[in-house]
Amino acid sequence: MIDLWIIWVIIAILVLNTLSALITVFHRPRNIVTTWAWILVLMLLPVVGFLIYAFFGRGIAQEKIFNISNQEHIGLHQLKKMELDAKSKKQNGSRTDETYYARHVIRFFDKTEDTPLTRHNEIELYYDGKEKFKRLFEDVRNATETIHVEYYALIKSNIGQEFLDLLTEKAKEGLEVRILYDPWGSGGTNKKWFKPFVDAGGQVLPFITSKNVIYKTRLNYHLHRKLVILDGITGWIGGFNVGDQYVGESKKFGYWRDTHIRVKGTATLLMQERFFQDWNASIDHDIKPLVFLEKYFPADKSNTNANLPIQIVSDGPDSRQEILKDGFIDMIVNAKKSVWIQTPYLIPDDPMFTALTIASRSGVDVRIMVPCMPDHPFIYRATQYYSNLLTQFGIKIYSYEKGFLHAKTSIIDEKICSVGSMNHDFRSYSLNFEANAFIYDSKIAHKVKRSFEKDMEDSILITQEVIDNQGVWMHFKQRFSRLLSPIL
């Protein structure tokens, strides 16, 4: 028979664990769904749950919020001056049907994030990794002054080594070459790997949230943006990271389906400014911050005769507002005809779930495409749960079967499209640092729509029969994963 004192010790531990869990979770404001998910973890996993929380549950350090959110806008005045000059000359400054249609969300992004609409751009769309990197490497070879690289995953791999070698050669030529990366997404990277690049004159930094993470025990905030800016003229933004899987050279994933865009024009200046802010927030005291120089924001070279309206919008946990998510909700609830989305992770929070279902119940054609395989098991099962649930509301969910779908694209009413790094899950909404391009042009929207339709040929539509055939055990795993989805 167990001694009475052991029972009392166990009860005391459980009571103390419960009180500690409540104090820990409620000590700062957070999403109520996330709150309950953490309570579940802390109470079901005594002691161990607190170790998990220490690394993945705590808010971003206040000194890091200060460093990121208080960075000055560098180059924004140059961009606004260029746009005003163009309007005064009536050079491609007229209002288009698409910008009038999207005026509400354009104004929202500008007032919330100080992200003005840029009108003088041209873009190229890339859906295949090999084609994307071939064109990107060509741009890097042709760069003459500055190359700025910002990636979540810059992986030590065949394509990663080729990219780093190319950047090293450009540094040897005397160009200013800078790399900003997230170590948690960049497998295999270390000082030794970067040493030839640094010896050649290049500069490399981990993003501020990845510095001293073991000491500060915060692993939950990642640089998820994918940006390359060359000479302040040409910019790249989208979903592709740098690694062999992104060019289809992974047995696990097979063909990698993603979307990236190449921008030439004034929108590139917003991408350059985003890089400057992220870089300056991440530097150590012995590195001088980047400041405004004409060579970084070349007004005479960045302007173009093209008339493509684009906003580059970034977001992250340094902001109290979920800017990108709120912008998408705005577009979804105001859609008149169609909302088509591609995302590798489909774990919408309550406001996004409500927006999607309201649109569907209002007669809007809502279609969402997700991958047929996981790269993160729990997240994939949660994605399956929400795919099944949204199907009940008349939303068409497609499972991409050709390989792994990693594209983050949206098409609204065939007038607006978005390409960037934001997934539709809790992490992208509130934990990751993201960047998306919003393009207000029906021709580009139609191109992205055609790529969606082509992907539908390699997909299956999730029906009630498909859901029923998943089995009881699979449904249990989906429901359990859904409980943890706010903290995945």
Q: Check residue 65 and give its pLDDT.
A: 47
- For residue 227, what is the DSSP state? E
Asked if 408 is an active-site residue, the reply is yes
The secondary structure of 29-51 as a DSSP string is: ---HHHHHHHHHHHHHSTTHHHH
Would you say 175 and 146 are in contact if contact means Cβ atoms under 8 Å apart? yes
Asked if 424 is an active-site residue, the reply is no
Which of these is catalytic: 120, 170, 222, 408? 408
Which of these is catalytic: 132, 260, 406, 415? 406
Over the stretch 61-84, which tens digit does the pLDDT of each residue have? 544 444 555 555 666 666 666 655
Q: Check residue 66 and give its pLDDT.
A: 45
Asked if 224 is an active-site residue, the reply is yes
- Given the structure tokens 């994307």, which residue do they identify? 132
Q: Check residue 276 and give its pLDDT.
A: 94
Q: Check residue 449 and give its pLDDT.
A: 97
Q: Is the pLDDT of residue 485 over 60?
A: yes
How many helices (H) and strands (E) the chain has is answered by 20, 16
Residue 60: band (very low, low, confident or very high) from pLDDT cuts 50, 70, 90: low
Query: Cα–Cα distance between 264 and 120 in angstroms, integer?
Result: 9
Q: Check residue 374 and give its pLDDT.
A: 84
Over the stretch 317-364, which tens digit does the pLDDT of each residue have? 887 789 999 999 999 999 999 999 999 999 999 999 999 999 999 999
- Given the structure tokens 């008149």, which residue do they identify? 336
Letter string b/e over residues 88-125, b meaning 16 or more CB atoms within 10 A of that residue's CB: eeeebeeebebbebbeebbebbeeebebbbbbbbebeb
Which of these is catalytic: 64, 132, 224, 424? 224
Q: Check residue 375 and give its pLDDT.
A: 83
Residue 28: band (very low, low, confident or very high) from pLDDT cuts 50, 70, 90: low
Asked if 226 is an active-site residue, the reply is yes
Query: Cα–Cα distance between 251 and 341 in angstroms, integer?
Result: 27
Q: Check residue 332 and give its pLDDT.
A: 97
How deeply is 347 buried, as exposed, middle or buried, from its count of CB atoms within 10 A (0-12, 13-18, 19+)? buried
Over the stretch 439-471, which tens digit does the pLDDT of each residue have? 999 999 999 999 999 999 999 999 999 999 999
Asked if 231 is an active-site residue, the reply is yes
Q: Is the pLDDT of residue 9 over 70?
A: no
Which of these is catalytic: 278, 413, 425, 441? 413
Would you say 209 and 64 are in contact if contact means Cβ atoms under 8 Å apart? yes
Q: Check residue 361 and give its pLDDT.
A: 96
The predicted model scores a pTM of 0.86
Which of these is catalytic: 64, 120, 226, 325? 226
Considering only residues 164 and 376, tell me which one the structure prediction assigns the higher pLDDT. Answer: 164
Helix axes 472-484, 377-391, angle to 10 degrees: 110
Query: Cα–Cα distance between 226 and 314 in angstroms, integer?
Result: 11
pLDDT above 70 coverage of the chain, percent: 76
CA 317 to chain centre: 12
Q: Check residue 132 and give its pLDDT.
A: 98
Least confident of 188-192, 238-242, 398-402, 413-417: 188-192
Q: Is the pLDDT of residue 40 over 80?
A: no
Query: Cα–Cα distance between 73 and 66 in angstroms, integer?
Result: 14
Asked if 252 is an active-site residue, the reply is no
Which of these is catalytic: 231, 278, 330, 455? 231
Residue 216: band (very low, low, confident or very high) from pLDDT cuts 50, 70, 90: very low
